[in-house]
Amino acid sequence: MNLARERALLALSFVSQAVVFAASAAAARQGEPPSLIVIGVAASFVPYAGSLFFSRALTGVRSPCILAAAITSALGAIWLLAPPVLSDDLYRYTWEGRLWLEGFNPYDLPPDHPSLAPLRDEVWASINNKPLASVYPPLSQLLFATAAWLGGSAFSVKLLALGCLALTAAWMARVTGDFRAALALGANPLLSSESALNGHFDVLVGAAMLAVAWELSRHRYVQAGVAVSVAVGLKVVGLILLPLLWRRPRVLVGTALGSALLLAPLLVSRTPGDSASGATQFATRWQGNESVFALVDWLCRQALPNSTAGMAARVLVVAIFLALVSVLLYRRVAPARAIRILVWSVLLLSPQVHPWYLGWLLPLELAVGGRAALIWSVAVLSAYAPLDGWVENGVWEMPLWLQVSEYLLVAAALFFDLRRNSKAFR
């Protein structure tokens, strides 16, 4: 097949993906059930697969960073005017960003606090878990405040999240020298919809994790420590990267202190036993779309009372994870491979796996040629299956067969991925 034909088919793939996005966004604006939008996102993976295949026609293209950002932005822009029907998190982002500009602290004051009553509006009415204070670290809060400064609407949050995805794709093209991987990231239907439709910033956590792997592979420990702190400042999950700095004790201590300072607002504003602590409630109560944790939780409930089994299961999976970290450090596993294992392990052991959490995984996976995460980015859409019931009658019920099917597909993809040799950073 000649180059001109491949580029024509690539263009057709992009146009087809854009058409499916547009139809799904229109359905969201018309108030169609969330399941229809999820089906649209899933269907867009078909032309997306075509774009991945034919993107080889753009190998050696000039200005790959600009092109990656432009394609990411063009596809994501289709979602911007659609309501965030798959997640209401961005209303909390918008509210907390406004609080900072108004001089209030969302770590101290949950949305239903009486002192905030004069600020209540349609954004406040859409916030979930109003009795809980913020669970988001300071760098995420900075993004929320920036979105509030840009306009303080759902649109401004979505626009900023799309900009973060586009910049991540451009940066990935520049750092790795792999335009196809950057395109696979920016055009991914899950990441596009989670950023530009739902307003999530999790891809920045994945970018920070990729930066840590990149810097460690070049033995630049200080820069890696900075990237770890950025990851922690965005989401607490960034703490899993700290042990990888063990070869440089001073950098490890400095990064740990910096991370502790970033997380201090979460710990100081609310004590662990406080019922309004968002961090405590998330760590002890949230559960959904889990995989390995479901089995651990079931085993604990066979041996312990229900009142303690849930916490025992959480303690056990943390112990399993720490044991895995010890093995990786003992065997001196290469940084990129170690981080991939750690992120995969966190997601598989976690009691809660939201679709947007795949943003933590995809940048590094695509940079080293992993494919299992791409399969999961399709399969994880099944986590939205209970949304229709939740919207209609407030009941969240995930069909067990669907959850099992998701993780069987992911396990098969991961098995075949492990048999392949991943790319090394250049």
Q: Give per-residue pLDDT as tens, 165-216.
A: 999 999 999 998 889 999 999 999 999 999 999 999 999 999 999 999 999 9
Is the distance from CB of 18 to CB of 371 less than 8 angstroms?
no
User: In this predicted structure, what is the pLDDT of residue 6?
Assistant: 86
Cα(224)–Cα(396) distance, integer angstroms: 40
**Partners of 288 in the β-ladder:** 352
Q: What are the structure tokens assigned to 297, written together?
A: 């939780």
Q: Is 235 helix (H, G, I), strand (E, B) or coil?
A: coil
Alpha carbons within 13 A on the beta-carbon side of 217: 20
Cα(29)–Cα(40) distance, integer angstroms: 14
Is the distance from CB of 410 to CB of 353 less than 8 angstroms?
no
CA nearest to 265, candidates 112, 161, 139, 131:
139
Q: What is the pLDDT along the chain (426 residues), one digit of tens a residue?
A: 677 888 889 999 999 999 999 999 999 999 999 999 999 999 999 999 999 999 887 777 788 899 999 999 999 999 999 999 999 999 999 999 999 999 999 999 999 999 999 999 999 999 999 999 999 999 999 999 999 999 989 999 999 999 999 999 999 999 988 899 999 999 999 999 999 999 999 999 999 999 999 999 999 999 999 999 999 999 999 999 999 999 999 999 999 999 999 999 888 876 666 665 666 676 677 889 999 999 999 999 999 998 899 999 999 999 999 999 999 999 999 999 999 999 999 999 999 999 999 999 999 999 999 999 999 999 999 999 999 998 888 888 899 999 999 999 999 999 988 776 666 655
Q: Which residues contact 4 (CB under 8 A, 6 or more apart)?
A: none
Distance of CA 361 to the CA centre of its chain: 8
Quick one: which H or E segment has residue 29? helix 3-29
Distance of CA 28 to the CA centre of its chain: 22
Q: Is 395 helix (H, G, I), strand (E, B) or coil?
A: coil
User: In this predicted structure, what is the pLDDT of residue 267?
Assistant: 81
| Ramachandran angles phi, psi of 4, nearest 5° | -60, -40
Please state the domain extents for the chain.
1-200
Q: Helices (DSSP H) in 304-420: which residue ranges?
A: 306-330, 335-349, 362-367, 372-379, 387-393, 400-418
Q: Which residues contact 305 (CB under 8 A, 6 or more apart)?
A: none
User: In this predicted structure, what is the pLDDT of residue 243?
Assistant: 96
Rg (CA), the chain: 21
User: In this predicted structure, what is the pLDDT of residue 307?
Assistant: 83
